């Protein structure tokens, strides 16, 4: 059976056609290609969290017109009802024949609900690119100066010989004469990176990238003024190969060409952001002269195509910690070919350039009093201390706060329930995009559990109680329903305003949240122990991450994610990694500071702490239920 007309001939006998409905998009792939991969080829992003292990159940699709056998993993993850109507997990199917597939859940690559709260709008401007506009003296027979030196002698601050890269040297004489010796030279220290006609000395653009595991944010910056011209964000397409960094390392390690592929798709995604930034500001690619990039250590490795394998295995060794700087053309980035691209330096294998950016942006390394910085994402990184001493750790929070491993979890995008509140008579909720709720995202998750704790729907150990022992109002009791094994809680039911069908929260979902929050809370406790600091000595708690932007801090306190501190000390600093990347982009001083930060910030490996397991277990409970 073929889904193509006879005119659309196949290129080879090994080629398989996959048609995705309802859009009708087509992928031509080789036999044996994974269905997720085929979907990517057709530019369809099916959500996937577990790195093709068939465990997260996010990549459900429906096979139309034929029946495929189920794998063992599908038998475990899918319900009999789902299987009976042809639902499969895309990650479990390697296509061997033409297929017609119905997409159940597609992620839009461009996140519409992205938001940043920038702490400071004013940056120090002290960049290392300089633009020099010259009208050179034309050589004549009495002044036979060579063209390179004619330029060099016009740059007075030059410490050493001027280096003109080969492609620029090859056309130097021609371009000088074409432009009547009236040119603008851009230098990075003693390197010429561009030669332009006429005077362009007032225009110098750069891009700061926050390369998140889940979301990539790019800011187009006017580097001579620090002005942010535009900000764009898209989902990191590497998510198809695993929601967390370890899944991606495994993929890069086990699949032939995996590393190259992961690098290629992230570069492609950044180029997409550049295109959006350029379109919205009427900028040309070649006008972007520089890029800084803040990502966690594994994202930095993957961005550069550097093998990250040994970060994932003890003793967790990265190939590099310092800032790396290469030319855009070496990485295939759509900007000035010889423009410098720098990664923010990493502190350790699990505390990366994004955290260096956080410290840099919030001046954590300059605080007089003790400050706690928390970046809650797939990994929860924690920084603690003052200008005297900074220490940090990374906790394996897992993807729960990004919607992973939660039965109805999803990312903070259209259709995600992101706020939740229960009063005596009803539940209130907010859905991103004001549409029918499709699932819950991280902030919704925290709100829901906090409310379940507050109303006693779960006990101190995290167990959803027998409705017979529930002391609250009847209407709420009815939402606790037995599922055959234990109890579910109907966070949304058909009776609620704005809901057409129920959404259930399961016992297992609470367990996932407990694991995640206790990982973060235990990390905080250990850092406080390490510096021998009591909670009252903490001056501020700064919460970073796109996640933090929407978080209800009272609920974060209630579930015990944050230590029991006065709420007014808790501040959301928004996308601190992105701010750090901008600061790094604009200032040589900031670059020096960043290198000092990675040398002076002590990394605590939690797995080496004898007390970790005990504290982690303690933090599983909901002790702050009484708040």
Closer residue to a second copy, CB minimum distance, 12 or 607: 607
243 and 378 Cβ atoms separated by less than 8 Å? yes
Q: How far is 238 from 248, CA to CA, in rounded Å?
A: 8
Tokens encoding 314? 């003890």
Compute the least distance from the CB of residue 583 to a second copy, in Å. 20
Compute the least distance from the CB of residue 179 to a second copy, in Å. 14
10 Å CB burial of residue 517 (0-12, 13-18, 19+) is buried
Q: How far is 466 from 568, CA to CA, in rounded Å?
A: 36
Closer residue to a second copy, CB minimum distance, 185 or 513: 185
Closer residue to a second copy, CB minimum distance, 3 or 310: 310
User: 3-state SS of the chain: helix, strand, coil percent to 5?
Assistant: 35, 25, 40
Say which DSSP state 41 is in.
Answer: H
- Residues near a second copy (CB under 8 A): 139-141, 143-149, 161, 164, 166, 169-174, 177, 304-307, 309-310, 314-322, 324, 326, 330-331, 346, 348-349, 603, 605, 607-608
381 backbone dihedrals φ, ψ, rounded to 5°: -95, 140
Compute the least distance from the CB of residue 250 to a second copy, in Å. 16
Compute the least distance from the CB of residue 470 to a second copy, in Å. 48
Closer residue to a second copy, CB minimum distance, 139 or 456: 139
Q: Which residues, listed in sequence order, are joined to residue 504 by a DSSP beta bridge?
A: 490
Closer residue to a second copy, CB minimum distance, 564 or 599: 599
Compute the least distance from the CB of residue 442 to a second copy, in Å. 30
Compute the least distance from the CB of residue 33 to a second copy, in Å. 26
Compute the least distance from the CB of residue 192 to a second copy, in Å. 12
Closer residue to a second copy, CB minimum distance, 117 or 603: 603
Q: How far is 113 from 412, CA to CA, in rounded Å?
A: 7
Scan for tokens 């994610």, then name that residue. Answer: 561
Closer residue to a second copy, CB minimum distance, 109 or 306: 306
Compute the least distance from the CB of residue 141 to a second copy, in Å. 4
Number of CB atoms found within 10 A of residue 620's CB: 19
Compute the least distance from the CB of residue 519 to a second copy, in Å. 19
Tokens encoding 451? 């409310």
199 backbone dihedrals φ, ψ, rounded to 5°: -105, 105
**In b/e form, how buried is each residue of 252-284, taking b as 16+ CB within 10 angstroms?**
beebeebbebbbebbbebbebbbebbbeeeebe
- Long-range Cβ contacts of 305-310 (<8 Å, 24+ apart): 305/259, 305/260, 305/263, 307/252, 307/259, 308/249, 308/252, 309/249, 309/252, 309/253
Compute the least distance from the CB of residue 592 to a second copy, in Å. 11
Compute the least distance from the CB of residue 148 to a second copy, in Å. 4
Half-sphere exposure of 405 (CA within 13 A, CB side): 20
H helix runs in 134-193, sequence order: 147-152, 166-170, 172-178
Euclidean distance between the first and the last CA atom of the chain, given in angstroms as a whole number: 64
The string of DSSP letters for 454-510 reads HTTSB-TTSPBPPGGG--S-HHHHTTEEE-SSSEEEEEE-TTSTT-SS-EEEEHHHH
Closer residue to a second copy, CB minimum distance, 171 or 486: 171
Tokens encoding 368? 């007089």
Closer residue to a second copy, CB minimum distance, 342 or 443: 342
Closer residue to a second copy, CB minimum distance, 394 or 552: 394
Closer residue to a second copy, CB minimum distance, 71 or 253: 253
Q: Which of these, 564, 447, 455, lies nearest to 513 by C-alpha position?
A: 447
């Amino acid at each position: 059976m073929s889904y193509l007309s006879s005119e659309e001939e196949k290129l080879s006998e090994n080629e398989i056609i996959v048609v995705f409905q309802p859009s009708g998009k087509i992928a031509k792939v080789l036999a044996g290609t994974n269905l997720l991969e085929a979907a990517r080829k057709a530019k369809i992003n099916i959500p996937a969290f577990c790195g093709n292990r068939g465990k997260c159940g996010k990549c459900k699709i429906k096979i139309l017109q034929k029946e495929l056998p189920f794998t063992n993993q599908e038998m475990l993850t899918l319900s009999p009802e789902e299987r009976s109507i042809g639902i499969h997990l895309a990650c479990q199917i390697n296509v061997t024949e033409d297929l017609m597939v119905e997409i159940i859940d597609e992620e839009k690559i461009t996140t519409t609900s992205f938001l940043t709260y920038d702490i400071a709008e004013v940056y120090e401007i002290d960049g290392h690119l300089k633009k020099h506009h010259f009208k050179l003296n034309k050589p004549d027979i009495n002044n036979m100066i060579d063209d390179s030196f004619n330029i060099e002698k016009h740059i007075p601050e030059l410490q050493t010989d001027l280096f003109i890269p080969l492609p620029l040297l090859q056309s130097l004489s021609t371009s000088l004469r074409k432009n009547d010796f009236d040119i603008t030279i851009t230098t990075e220290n003693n390197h010429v990176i561009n030669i332009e006609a006429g005077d362009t000395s007032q225009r110098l653009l750069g891009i700061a990238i926050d390369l998140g595991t889940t979301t990539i944010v790019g800011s187009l910056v006017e580097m001579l003024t620090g002005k942010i011209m535009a900000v764009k964000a898209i989902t990191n397409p590497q998510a198809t190969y695993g929601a967390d960094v370890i899944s991606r390392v495994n993929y890069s390690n086990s699949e032939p060409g995996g590393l190259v592929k992961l690098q290629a798709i992230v570069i492609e995604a950044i180029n997409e952001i550049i295109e959006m930034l350029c379109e919205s500001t009427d900028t040309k690619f070649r006008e972007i002269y520089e890029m800084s990039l803040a990502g966690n250590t594994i994202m930095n490795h993957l961005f550069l195509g550097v093998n990250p394998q040994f970060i994932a295995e003890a003793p967790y060794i990265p190939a590099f910690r310092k800032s790396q700087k290469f030319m855009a053309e070496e990485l295939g980035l759509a900007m000035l070919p010889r423009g410098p691209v720098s990664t923010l330096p990493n502190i350790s294998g699990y505390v990366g350039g994004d955290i260096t950016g956080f410290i840099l942006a919030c001046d954590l390394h300059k605080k007089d009093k003790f400050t706690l910085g928390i970046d809650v994402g797939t990994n929860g990184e924690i920084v603690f201390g003052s200008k005297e001493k900074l220490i940090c750790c990374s906790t394996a929070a897992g993807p729960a706060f990004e919607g992973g491993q939660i039965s109805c979890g999803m990312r903070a995008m259209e259709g995600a329930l992101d706020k939740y509140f229960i009063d005596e008579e009803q539940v209130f909720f907010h859905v991103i995009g004001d549409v029918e709720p499709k699932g819950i995202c991280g902030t919704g998750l925290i709100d829901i559990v906090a409310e379940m704790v507050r109303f006693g729907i779960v006990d101190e150990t995290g167990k959803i109680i027998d409705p017979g022992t529930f002391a609250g109002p009847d209407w709420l009791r009815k939402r606790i329903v037995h599922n055959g094994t234990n109890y579910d809680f109907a966070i949304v039911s058909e009776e609620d305003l704005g809901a057409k069908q129920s959404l259930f929260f399961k016992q297992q979902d609470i367990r996932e949240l407990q694991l995640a929050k206790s990982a973060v809370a235990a990390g905080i406790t250990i850092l406080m122990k390490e510096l021998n600091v009591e909670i009252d000595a903490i001056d501020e708690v700064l919460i970073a991450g796109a996640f933090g932007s929407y978080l209800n801090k009272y609920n974060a306190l209630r579930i015990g994610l944050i230590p029991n501190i006065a709420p007014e000390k808790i501040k959301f600093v928004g996308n601190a990694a992105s701010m750090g990347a901008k600061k790094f982009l604009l200032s040589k001083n900031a670059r020096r500071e960043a290198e000092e930060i990675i040398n002076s910030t002590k990394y605590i490996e939690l797995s080496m702490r004898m007390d970790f397991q005990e504290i982690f277990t303690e933090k599983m409970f909901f002790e702050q239920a009484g708040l």
